[in-house]
Chains A and B, each alone.
Chain A
Amino acid sequence: MLDTRASTPKKEWKFADLIADPAVNERWRKVRKYFFLRESTYDMTNRCNIRCEGCYYYEGEKQFAAENTDPDAWRQLMTAEKARGITFVVLAGAEPSLVPDLCQACFEVIPLGAIATNGLKRIPGAVGYKIHVSVWGNDATSQTVRKARNLLHRQIENYRGDERAVFVYTFTRHNITEAPAVAERLVAEDCRLTFNMFSAPVGYAGDLRHTPASLVKVRETMTTLLRQYPRHVLYSTYNAAAHTHTKGLHELYTCPYPRCNPSEALGLGRSFRQYHTDLTWDRAAACCVPDTDCPDCRHYAAGSAIVTSKLFRHAVDPDTFQSWLDYVDTYLAVWVNGYRKGPNLCDHYVDPPEAQRSAAETAPRSSS
């Protein structure tokens, strides 16, 4: 009996060889210019103009924090954030469009960032952040899950032709078949879109949570839409592979957010904070989607930081490294105003490194 794994070791690639190809080298140089980005997130108000099933904001204690509505206080916070090295802000919960003056105050101090919004109220153009407009299916589904009438139509009216806007389609277990029609409509309006995965909040008992079967179906749908609309869909096959794996992001990549990472030495564990509306923060709860059930987390915002930060473990072979580059290129196009995504370098599925490792460990040993 021979163990063929032992006799055919995987080639160990040098990093210099991985970036030797001119197209890969160009992409590497393009994305590494943004390694200076250091993010934190901020709940802007505890109000929202709709109520969505499974909304992470209205879970846990943060929803009860008092609102600080003073733009000067926000300017001071941003100045302090800048001083401790934060270069990128994510303005989220509950609905930032309801406090445009606070968004403006943040933008005046830290000019790189993104806002998560339901898109019902347009955020003034002077706020030059990327705008993420959340879409949860067609209008009938939005009416059911978000209690909002004609939502997609109103979102498009507000953000058609707006370079800041990216429509973020959140796949739940039940809206997968609606995605092609929604994508077609957004593309017809020349809107850009990307994908998110419903990730259950802690204690969530509803039926939007994904199953192994729904993950497979979502992956196929994402890939079809990416190939159908490569100019409008900001995504890559590796994004699809990473976010639809049966293992969640935490298990696949080891989440570096403070909530899961006790080290304060460097990276997100050192600098990331998630501020509540009263401008306080709690390290024990800090991640970009607090109150999400970590094992179920496949959230696009979480992945944008988690997968991107794992450069070293992706620099193992050309396919895996190029997939990582596609992921980072996608991340920057979705989150940084003015960044233009290039064509994907790898068009086939590559498993995340942890999945490759466990597959190799469990593969049957060939014998002769």
Chain B
Amino acid sequence: MAKELDKIIVHVAEIMINELKLEDVTPENFDPEMDLVDEVGIDSMDLATVALVLRDAYSVRIDEDDYPKLTNIRLIAEYIHRKLAA
């Protein structure tokens, strides 16, 4: 189960890097605890874009009301993991 979550974390990081054209970071070294708003500088429209790509990848809908809680990659991955398990 931890392995599954780790895989999702790397995949979310990969999508975020690709979609938001983040530089100097790779999916493997992207700190999953890093605050996406304060430290990475992403905002609601960026998050919505990433949420759409994640919806395609996992068939999981990330509700707009939940965006404020998803402040780092680990939280996003855990959210997806929970929905997949449900």
Q: Is B72 an interface residue (CB 8 A)?
A: no
In whole angstroms, what is the CA distance A15 to B48 when docked? 11
Q: Do the beta carbons of B49 and A311 come within 8 Å of each other?
A: yes
Contact with B along A7-44 (1 / 0, CB 8 A): 00000001110000000000000001001001000000
Q: Is B86 an interface residue (CB 8 A)?
A: no
Please give me the residue from chain A that is nearest to B37 by CB atom. Answer: A266
In whole angstroms, what is the CA distance A269 to B68 when docked? 10
CB distance from B52 to the nearest CB of A (A): 4
Per CB-CB distance, the 9 closest pairs between chain A and chain B, nearest first, are: A265-B68, A267-B44, A15-B52, A35-B45, A311-B48, A312-B48, A14-B56, A263-B68, A266-B44
Partner of B64, one of A269, A270, A271, A313: A313
User: At the interface, is chain B mostly helix, strand, loop or mixed?
Assistant: helix
Q: Is A175 an interface residue (CB 8 A)?
A: no
Q: Is B46 an interface residue (CB 8 A)?
A: yes
Q: Do the beta carbons of A312 and B37 come within 8 Å of each other?
A: no
Some 30 contacts from A to B, beta carbons below 8 A apart, are: A14-B55, A14-B56, A15-B52, A15-B55, A15-B56, A16-B56, A35-B43, A38-B43, A85-B41, A256-B44, A263-B68, A265-B69, A265-B71, A266-B37, A266-B47, A266-B68, A267-B45, A267-B67, A268-B44, A269-B68, A270-B43, A309-B44, A310-B64, A311-B45, A311-B48, A311-B49, A311-B52, A312-B48, A313-B64, A315-B52
Chain A residues in 8 Å Cβ range of B48 = 311-312
CB distance from A312 to the nearest CB of B (A): 5
Chain B residues in 8 Å Cβ range of A266 = 37, 43-44, 47, 67-68
Chain B residues in 8 Å Cβ range of A16 = 56
Please give me the residue from chain A that is nearest to B64 by CB atom. Answer: A312
Chain A residues in 8 Å Cβ range of B62 = 312
Contact with A along B54-86 (1 / 0, CB 8 A): 011000001010011101000000000000000
Please give me the residue from chain B that is nearest to A271 by CB atom. Answer: B43
Q: Tell me the B residues contacting A by CB distance below 8 Å.
A: 37, 41, 43-49, 51-53, 55-56, 62, 64, 67-69, 71
CB distance from A269 to the nearest CB of B (A): 8
Please give me the residue from chain B that is nearest to A16 by CB atom. Answer: B56
Chain A residues in 8 Å Cβ range of B41 = 85
Q: Do the beta carbons of B56 and A270 come within 8 Å of each other?
A: no
Chain A residues in 8 Å Cβ range of B37 = 265-266, 270
Contacts A35-B49, A256-B44 known; list 17 others, CB within 8 Å: A14-B56, A15-B52, A15-B56, A32-B45, A38-B43, A85-B41, A265-B37, A265-B67, A265-B69, A267-B45, A268-B44, A269-B68, A270-B43, A312-B62, A312-B64, A313-B64, A315-B52
Q: Do the beta carbons of B52 and A312 come within 8 Å of each other?
A: yes
Task: Enumerate A265-320 residues with CB–CB distance to B below 8 Å.
Answer: 265-271, 309-313, 315
In whole angstroms, what is the CA distance A269 to B53 when docked? 24
Task: Enumerate A126-149 residues with CB–CB distance to B below 8 Å.
Answer: none
Please give me the residue from chain A that is nearest to B45 by CB atom. Answer: A35
CB distance from B58 to the nearest CB of A (A): 11
